[in-house]
A and B are shown apart, each in its own frame.
Chain A
Amino acid sequence: MIDFFIIPVIKLIIIFGVCLTIVAWTTWAERKILGHIQIRLGPMRVGWHGLLQPIADGIKNFFKEDVIPDNADKAVFLIAPAISISVAIILLAVIPFGPPVSLFGKKITLWLSNPSIGILFILGLATLGSYGTILGGWSSGNKYGYMGGLRASAMILSYELSMAFAVISIIMMTGSFSLVDMVTAQHGLWNAVKQPLAFLVFLISGTAELNRTPFDMPEAESELCCGYNVEYSSMKFALFFLAEYTHMFVFASLVTTLFLGGWHGPFLPGIVWFFIKTFAVIFVCIWVRATVPRLRYDKVMKLEWKFLLPAALANVLVTGAVMAMMK
């Protein structure tokens, strides 16, 4: 009873609470870092250095008028943000946050579940999450939204490939689909050192999958004036927003798990190392956003099909060849 129900429920509540809090304050961190990079201050008014800004934003969104356009396909319009956010949150279930710890004489694992197909689960669901974007853009009955949705589907179709191939080389080296096994396999040397090309490809295509600058095709403020979520207001917009940042957190923790050695690190406890690395990846995401301008649409496709995909494929082949020779 305790092992099968109570402990998982407690873990679920803690993971949900902690991760969503981190996600909320990631928005603050992003605005703050972007501000300082642009030699501004960022939010300063609400709380010390604007620390309560996420709460203020939440309250504001909550009290905004909830508009549903006449042209919208009501059912799909309502369900799209729900798909986005629920898929993003489900992804948190399989991420290993730290090594198992013993508490009150019980061995407790710091992940909610460790399915033997963990990485497939994540790749599959992450793609499902883009249905929220596509359906949201398509159902809002707005041409900008429609264009955003179209672009989102094209982006997912192409970047999912190179991302999967980057992961395949890791799977080949680990010999397992389980994320926990992947972390344990990196005890000596990080995968980022063993597989620099896969790391790079994963980082780039992951950023593209997150729809963040320089690949923010579906929202592209200056072209589509916010794209797929242009008709969304109030809490529905907030859900899209939250889903985006949850995806970013999941992506950062995935990079940590797959390439940066997960919870491994000297001196500090494993969970601290995990979060340090995750925040570092999030910082890199924000840093890149502040630096690189948005690519033109055809160049985004060119980058994927002419550079990333061949590179990832070649990487898989070379990894296989080296592994066969080592045997």
Chain B
Amino acid sequence: MKPNDIINVSRMRPEKGKYVKPILKGLAFTLKNLFSKPVTLQYPTEKTERSDRWRGLHRLNRDEEGNLLCVACGLCAAICPSRAISIIPYEEEGGTRHPEKFVIDELRCIFCGFCQEVCPKGAISLTKVYDYVDYDRRNFIFDIEKLKNPEVFEFKGK
């Protein structure tokens, strides 16, 4: 930090014994603020723009026909630091593999994004949904059906 970066607050204080002028200055300032646009966002209805790299709830991506891209290789489950992912694979005749069960415990998940990074098929990705709320912890254990469409769990108020 350069010495110029340090702001001397004590110099910005009004001088001792001076009241009237600083008070008038303050009144003018607050009156100006009164007519400026408030910065408040009405949260559940208005939200800030989230970055494209935001890591929220998981989504299992699908191809054009609506089939899951996942081949149940288990890499995501292996790399997951918090062991939030568990997969039961099943193999069709001819060797195509699908997940029979694909469960993510969203309460265990630390949203590191490793699963998205490690996936060879691009089958799992993290959405921008960050405010899923519920009264029951069991509802945070997401199965395939929930993971197909995590956007519906975004909190939009009552």
Q: A residues bordering B, Cβ < 8 Å?
A: 33, 35-41, 44, 287-288, 290-292
Contacts and interface: CB of A to CB of B under 8 A. Distances in A.
Given A33-B34, A287-B31, A39 B39 contact: yes
Interface in B3-37: 23, 26-27, 29-31, 33-34, 36-37
Interface of B: 23, 26-27, 29-31, 33-34, 36-40, 42
A290 to B, nearest CB: 5
Contact of B36 (A33, A39, A292): A39
Contacts of B37: 39
A292 B29 CA distance: 11
B114 to A, nearest CB: 40
A291 B19 CA distance: 13
A37 B27 contact: no
B30 A40 contact: no
A37 B38 contact: no
Given A36-B38, A37-B30, 12 more contacts: A33-B34, A35-B38, A36-B33, A38-B33, A40-B40, A41-B40, A44-B42, A287-B31, A290-B30, A291-B23, A291-B27, A291-B30
Interface residues of B, dominant DSSP: helix
B36 A288 contact: no
The 9 closest A-B pairs by CB, nearest first: A41-B40, A291-B26, A291-B30, A41-B38, A37-B30, A37-B34, A290-B30, A37-B33, A291-B27
A84 B87 CA distance: 69
16 contacts: A33-B34, A36-B33, A36-B34, A36-B38, A37-B30, A37-B33, A37-B34, A41-B38, A41-B42, A44-B42, A287-B30, A291-B23, A291-B27, A291-B29, A292-B23, A292-B26
Contacts of B33: 36-39
A321 to B, nearest CB: 26
Contacts of A292: 23, 26
